[in-house]
Copies of this chain bind each other. A is one copy, B any other.
Amino acid sequence: MSGSFATTPEPPYYAVIFSSRRTAVDGGYGAVADRMIELAARQPGFLGIESARDADGFGITVSYWASLADIASWKANGEHRIAQATGKQKWYEAYEVRIARVERALQGP
C-alpha cells in the first residue's frame, strides 16, 4: 500500500502521523501491515492513507480521518490492538505517533 496518494476531502480533517524505525524482525510484519490498511479502510471516518519506508527501515505512515472520535475507535479496534502490541514487542525499534488537525491542503505541480 506504499507509494500512493490519499484522496482526501477539503480540510478540516485529522491526520495520524506514525513515524517508525523497524527492527530486523520480520515475523509476519508485511501481512499484518497490509491487513491493518484493509481493516482501517473499513472503519467509520477513514479518509485515506499514505506510506513510505526507506531502505534503512525508517518509515512514515499518515492516515487521514474525519474526526478524533474515529481515530479513537480505530485505535481501540480489537484486531488493531493485537497488531499494536505485536509492533511494540517485535517490529518497531522506536516510533512516534502524532495526531494533527489538517487545516490546509494543496496539490501540485
Contact = CB atoms under 8 A, between A and B. Distances in A.
A75 to B, nearest CB: 11
Contacts of A89: 109
A91 to B, nearest CB: 9
Nearest to A107: B96
A25 interface: no
Interface residues of A, number: 43
Nearest to A102: B100
Interface string A15-52: 10101010000000000000000000000000000111
A84 to B, nearest CB: 9
A3 interface: yes
A99 interface: yes
Interface in A79-106: 87-89, 92, 94-106
A104 B71 CA distance: 12
